[in-house]
Amino acid sequence: MPDGGIGAPTKRREDTRFLTGRGKYTDDITPQNTSYCAFARSQVANGKINSIDTSQATKMPGVLAAFTGEDFVEVGSNPAGWLINSRDGEPMKEPKRPVLAHGKVRHVGDAYAAVVAETLEQAMDAVEAIEADIDELDAVVDMASAVADPGTLVHDEIETNICFDWGWIEDNRAATDEAIKNAPHVTTLELVNNRLVPNALEPRASIGEYDPGTGDYKLTTTSQNPHLSRLLVSAFVLGIPENKLTVLAPDVGGGFGSKIYHYGEEALVLAAAKKLGRPVKWTATRTESFLSDAHGRDHVTKIELACEKDGSFIAFRTETLANVGAYLSNFSTATPTFLHGTLMAGNYTVPNVYVNVKAVFTNTAPVDAYRGAGRPEATFSLERVIDKCARELGIDPVEIRRKNFIKKDQYPFATAAGLEYDSGDYDALMDGLEKVADFAGFEARRAASAKEGKLRGLGINSYVEACGIAPSNLVGILGARVGLYDAATVRVNPTGNISVMVGAHSHGQGHETAFPQIVADMLGVDAQTVDIVHGDTSKIPFGMGTYGSRSLAVCGSAVFRATEKVIRKATLIAAHMLEDSPENIEFSDGVFAIKGTNKTVGFGDVALKAYIPHDYPIDAIEPGLEETAFYDPANFTYPSGAYASEVEVDPETGKVTVCSMVALDDFGVVVNPMIVTGQVEGGLAQGIGQALLENGVYDENGQLLSGSFMDYAMPRADDLPSFVVDHSNETRCTHNPIGSKGCGEAGAIGSPPTIVNAVVDALARGGHDVDHIDMPVSPSRVWAAMNP
C-alpha cells in the first residue's frame, strides 16, 4: 500500500483553501449583474392572509419585482420523501407545501412574499413596505393539545393535526402488550427529546440564474445533496426539465441535516431569475435560519421496559408524539418512523418491541432530520429507561446492559424491531470503556469532588445505530419515494491522474481527502494524483448526497466498485500489452504482471494506451479508461459504541460541569482516522449541547423564544471537556466492499443519554431521589429536581 491509502490519517487537502480565506461558499459567489432577494416572513404563528399588497414596495428605489403566494398557485408542492401509512392502513396526511404561503401563514417565519432589487439593502427596505393584511388565529403549539383538542387546525383541509399514527411492528403489538402485562417488573419513563435548531454556521443561501439564449437554469445553493434539489425542483415544484437545470453546491459550511432538503427560497430565486433575466441571490440572516431552517428532534415519549427480576429484558414499548411542524419537510416522515422505531431494540436480545408514533402538525417551523435523525431519540429513550430500571432493581448499569447484549457470535442478528444487524461486539466495547474511562478510579475522583462540595456522577451508554439507509427495493416497500443508492465515476486521464465524480457531497466531512485514499489504495497510486468532483449535477452521476452517515458506506462503496471495474478493464489492456491472456495477469501496487514472471507494465502506461489506442484491439476493448458504478447496499450498516461521562453537579446552583467524555465506537474499517475522530468530536459537542444547553422553545402563541445565539445556547469551547475518542474496536461491515459503517452521527447519538445518566447518578449518590431530568439539564432544572 502506498502512503495515504485506507487507514492513513492523511491531512486534509481542502484545508488549504479554507485556512487562507479561499473557500467558495454560495454567498461568496456573485455572478455579473446579480440582483438581491429578501423575504417577508410571518410574525404570527397562525394567520389567515386577507391580502398582500406589494404596490408600494415595487415603487421603492431599485426594486425589480415582488412576488406573493398568488404567483405560485400553479406550481407544484414540495413533497415529503417518504409515504407513511397509519396503523389502520390509511396513508399519512400530506398537506401542500407552497413556495410562498398562500391563504394562510402557518408558522412564525413562514415566507409570504419576496422582493428582488438591485441591492440587498433596497430589497430589505422594500420588504418593510409590503402591506400584509393577516388575521392572527389561535396557534397550535403544544403537541398533546394538538392531538387531544383539534379545535384549531394547522391545515384546515386535512381536518386533523395528526399526520399519521404509525405502529412498528403492528403485528407485534398484542404480544408486546401481553408480555408487559405478565412481566415481573416494569419500568416506565416519560421523557422529552428537546427541539434543536441545527445552526450550521453558514446560513442557507441560493442563487438562481437563467439563460434566455439556451433556456438553461442554474441554482447555486447550500445543499447537502444537489441531485435531490434538482429532482424536487424539476419533477415536483417548478417542472423545469432536469436537463435544463444544473444544481451546484459549492463549499457548504456545515449542514447536520438542515441542508438536505429543498426549501421554497430555492424555487423562488429560480422563478425570479427567469422573470427578470438576471441572477437573483438570497442569503439568510441567522434570524431567518432560526425561523425557517428545519429543526430537529422534538419528541415526547412514554417508554416501558418489562424485565425479569434479574434484569433480563422482556419487552420495550413506546408511545411517542413527534412534532413535524407546520409543513412536511422532505425527510420528516421517515425520521420519527423508520429511522427511530426500527432501532428500538437497541443493542439487546429483547424479544418484544412495539413502537407507536403519532406525527403531529403544529404552528412551528418544520422538523426534520438533524444529526442522528431518529436514532438519538431511540437511544435516549432506551438508555434512560434502562438506567432507571437498573436503579430500581439494584443492578449495576454496566451489568444490566451486558446481560442483555447481543453477543458477538449471534450475528447476523434479527432484532425484535425488524432489522438484521450484520456485525458488532458490544461486550468488547464495554470492556474497552471500563479501562479507557477508568471506572476503577471513579470512586477516588468522586471523593475528591465531594471534598470540593460537588456531587460527581458516572453515566454510561451503549448504542447501535443504522446508517446508509437501504436497500432501495426494501425501502420502496416501506414507502420511500426515492432510491437510496449512490454513484461514482472513476475517470483515469491519459497521463494516469484520476478524477472521481461522486454523488455524495462534503460539507465538512473531508471527502476530497478520504475518497482518494480508497482509489489510491486499490490502484497503488499516490492519493495526491486522485481528485474528487462533487456538488455539480452537470458533472456528477445521480447520487443521493450526504446525510445519515452514508457517504463512505454507500458512495465510498460505489467508488470502490467503479475502481474495480477500472482494474478489470485495465487488466484486459495490460494483457494485450504483455501479450498474454487476462487470466494470467495479476495486479498489485500499481503494476500489472504476468503471474510468476517479471514481465510487467505499470498502471500509467496502461492508462496512456487506453487513450492512444494505435496498437490496440479496438474490436475487443473500447478505448478510454472510465467506469461508473451505482451501489445499492444490501442492508443498513450498524455502527455501535459504548460511552462514559463523568459530571460534577454544584448542589448550590444546579450547574453541571462535564469532567470527561469517553467515546468508544465501532465504525468498521476506518479510512482516515483523523477525520473520523473529528466527526466523533463534533457529534459529541452537539450531543452535549442537546443534553445541557440547547433548547428550541416556542411560547404558547408560537413565537420562537430561542431565536438567536443570545437565547439559544450553542456549546462553546469552554462548555466542553477534552474528549477521549477511540475507534480501534473494528468489526467489519459484512456486506459492503470497504467494510465501513459510518461515523458522522455517532457522537450526537451516544452522548445525550450518557450525560443525563451521569447527572442522575450524581444526584443519586448525593442522596437525591431523582428518576429523570429532561434535557437540556439546565441549572434551574437540576436545582428544582434536588429541591422538590
Partner 1 sequence: MPKITMNINGRDMSAEVENRTLLATMLREKLHLKGTHVGCDTSQCGACVVHVNGKAVKSCTIFASELDGATVDTIEGQANTDGSLNVIQQAFQDHHGLQCGFCTPGMVMSAAALLKDNPKPSEAEVREYLEGNICRCTGYQGIVNAIMAASGQDVPSVAAE
Residues forming contacts to ligand FES in the complex (CB under 6 A) are 201, 253-254, 508
Among 62, 150, 613, 678, binds partner 1 (CB under 8 A): 678
Among positions 289-348, residues that touch partner 1 (CB under 8 A) are none
- Return d(Cα 558, Cα 631) in angstroms, integer: 5
Torsion angle (degrees, nearest 10) of CA 537, 538, 540, 546: -10
Tell me if 423 sits within 8 A of 413, measured CB to CB: no
By a kind-dependent CB cut-off of 5 to 8 A, residue 494 interacts, out of ligand FES, partner 1, none, with none
Nearer to ligand FES by Cβ, of 257 and 508: the residue is 508
By a kind-dependent CB cut-off of 5 to 8 A, residue 722 interacts, out of ligand FES, partner 1, none, with partner 1
The DSSP line for 223-275 is -S-HHHHHHIIIIIIS---GGGEEEE--B----TTTTTS--HHHHHHHHHHHH
Among positions 37-66, residues that touch partner 1 (CB under 8 A) are none
For cell 482516522, name the residue.
673
User: Does 708 sit near partner 1 (CB under 8 A)?
Assistant: yes
Q: Residue 726 class from Cβ within 10 Å (0-12 exposed, 13-18 middle, 19+ buried)?
A: middle
Among positions 497-526, residues that touch partner 1 (CB under 8 A) are 507-510
Nearer to ligand FES by Cβ, of 254 and 604: the residue is 254
- State the binding string over 255-274 for partner 1 (x if CB under 8 A, else -): -x------------------
User: Does 14 sit near partner 1 (CB under 8 A)?
Assistant: yes
Nearer to ligand FES by Cβ, of 253 and 545: the residue is 253
User: Does 11 sit near partner 1 (CB under 8 A)?
Assistant: yes
How many residues touch partner 1 under the rule CB under 8 A: the total is: 64
Neighbours of 22 (CB within 10 A): 10
- Return d(Cα 649, Cα 456) in angstroms, integer: 6
Tell me if 195 sits within 8 A of 143, measured CB to CB: no
Question: What's the min distance (Å) between Cβ of 251 and partner 1?
Answer: 7
Nearer to partner 1 by Cβ, of 42 and 686: the residue is 686
Tell me if 10 sits within 8 A of 517, measured CB to CB: yes
Task: Measure Cα distances from 218 to 203, 212, 267, 694 in Å.
Answer: 20, 12, 11, 36
Question: What's the min distance (Å) between Cβ of 8 and partner 1?
Answer: 6
By a kind-dependent CB cut-off of 5 to 8 A, residue 252 interacts, out of ligand FES, partner 1, none, with partner 1
Nearer to partner 1 by Cβ, of 507 and 569: the residue is 507
Q: Per-residue b/e over 621-645, b at no fewer than 16 CB within 10 Å?
A: beeebbbebbbbbebbbbbbbbbbb
Nearer to ligand FES by Cβ, of 199 and 563: the residue is 199
Q: Nearest to residue 46, comparing CAs of 193, 196, 161?
A: 161
- State the binding string over 712-751 for partner 1 (x if CB under 8 A, else -): --xxxxx-x-xx-----------------------x----
- Return d(Cα 565, Cα 533) in angstroms, integer: 19
User: Does 647 sit near partner 1 (CB under 8 A)?
Assistant: no
Question: What's the min distance (Å) between Cβ of 250 and ligand FES?
Answer: 15
Q: Which stretch binds partner 1 (CB under 8 A): 245-253, 272-280, 301-309, 644-652?
A: 245-253
By a kind-dependent CB cut-off of 5 to 8 A, residue 16 interacts, out of partner 1, ligand FES, none, with partner 1
Question: What's the min distance (Å) between Cβ of 508 and ligand FES?
Answer: 5
The DSSP line for 677-697 is HHHHHHHHHHHHHHHHT----
Question: Which residues make Cβ contacts (< 8 Å) with residue 242, sequence separation at least 6?
Answer: 230, 231, 234, 235
Q: Nearest to residue 111, comparing CAs of 94, 95, 93, 134?
A: 134
By a kind-dependent CB cut-off of 5 to 8 A, residue 178 interacts, out of partner 1, ligand FES, none, with none
Give kind and range of the element (H or E) at residue 134: strand 131-136
The backbone torsions φ and ψ at residue 592, rounded to the nearest 5 degrees and listed phi first, read: -95, 135
| Beta-strand pair 626-631/486-492 | antiparallel
By a kind-dependent CB cut-off of 5 to 8 A, residue 264 interacts, out of ligand FES, partner 1, none, with none
Residue 27 DSSP symbol: G
Whether omega for the bond prior to residue 621 falls within 30 degrees of 0, making it cis, is: no
Nearer to ligand FES by Cβ, of 62 and 254: the residue is 254
By a kind-dependent CB cut-off of 5 to 8 A, residue 695 interacts, out of partner 1, ligand FES, none, with none
User: Does 8 sit near partner 1 (CB under 8 A)?
Assistant: yes
Find the farthest-apart pair of alpha carbons in the chain and give their distance in angstroms, rounded. 87
Torsion angle (degrees, nearest 10) of CA 429, 432, 438, 439: 50
Nearer to partner 1 by Cβ, of 187 and 258: the residue is 258
Q: Name the residue with the smallest CB distance to ligand FES.
A: 201
Among 9, 61, 241, 617, binds partner 1 (CB under 8 A): 9
Nearer to ligand FES by Cβ, of 27 and 648: the residue is 27
By a kind-dependent CB cut-off of 5 to 8 A, residue 12 interacts, out of partner 1, ligand FES, none, with partner 1
Nearer to ligand FES by Cβ, of 621 and 714: the residue is 714
The backbone torsions φ and ψ at residue 728, rounded to the nearest 5 degrees and listed phi first, read: -85, -15
Q: Which stretch binds partner 1 (CB under 8 A): 55-63, 159-167, 389-397, 709-717?
A: 709-717
Nearer to ligand FES by Cβ, of 75 and 714: the residue is 714
Cross-strand pairs, 111: 41
C-alpha cell at 322: 413527534
Nearer to partner 1 by Cβ, of 22 and 568: the residue is 22
By a kind-dependent CB cut-off of 5 to 8 A, residue 370 interacts, out of ligand FES, partner 1, none, with none
Q: Which stretch binds partner 1 (CB under 8 A): 108-116, 478-486, 537-545, 708-716?
A: 708-716
Question: What's the min distance (Å) between Cβ of 1 and partner 1?
Answer: 13
Q: Nearest to residue 407, comparing CAs of 385, 431, 423?
A: 423
Give kind and range of the element (H or E) at residue 400: helix 397-404
User: Does 581 sit near partner 1 (CB under 8 A)?
Assistant: no
Q: Where does this chain bind partner 1 (CB under 8 A)?
A: 3-4, 8-12, 14-25, 27-28, 30, 121, 199-203, 251-254, 256, 285-287, 507-510, 673-675, 677-679, 681-686, 708-710, 714-718, 720, 722-723, 747
